[in-house]
Amino acid sequence: LIINDQLIDSLAHDLIIKPDTYDVIVTPNMYGDIISDVTSALTGGLGIAPSANIGDQCVIYEPVHGSAPNISGKNIANPTATILSISMMFKDLGLHLAANQLDKALYSTLQEGIGTPDIGGNSTTSKMIDAIMEKIKH
């Protein structure tokens, strides 16, 4: 285990220039929130990045993007980050089969071109979730 202390501005720079240098990053909440938003751009955007806030007593799994009130009720929110956050929770709880089923259903749906507008698709949130659920059922 190698532990390095780093200033937050230097970390932000290095994450963009050489992201593969880091396996785990531990920060206070505000810095972690900023860094998770920055790194989500490296993986495709806020709509697909999962997150976990790990405390001494509990863990909160959530999408990096937050609640996205600007698209509330429009049926265009990308559910990928939420689904990946659930998968991360399943893995941490030792529910690897459930996590793998969820991951496979999500990836298969995306490979079929079923996705929301933010990732180049033309599907609604509901259609994307229905496609994922159908794959889990079978």
Write down the pLDDT at residue 44: 80
What confidence tens digit (pLDDT) does each residue in 67-112 have? 788 999 999 999 999 999 999 999 999 999 999 999 999 999 999 9
Which residues on neighbouring strands pair with residue 61, listed in sequence order?
A: 52
- How far, in Å, CA of 42 to CA of 105, rounded? 23
Write down the pLDDT at residue 103: 98
Structure token pair of residue 52: 């976990």
What confidence tens digit (pLDDT) does each residue in 40-74 have? 888 888 778 898 888 899 999 999 887 788 999 99
- How far, in Å, CA of 111 to CA of 75, rounded? 21
What confidence tens digit (pLDDT) does each residue in 2-53 have? 888 999 999 999 999 999 999 889 999 899 888 988 888 888 887 788 988 8
Number of Cβ within 10 Å of residue 21's Cβ equals 9
CB 39 within 8 A of CB 33: no
Structure token pair of residue 9: 């501005």
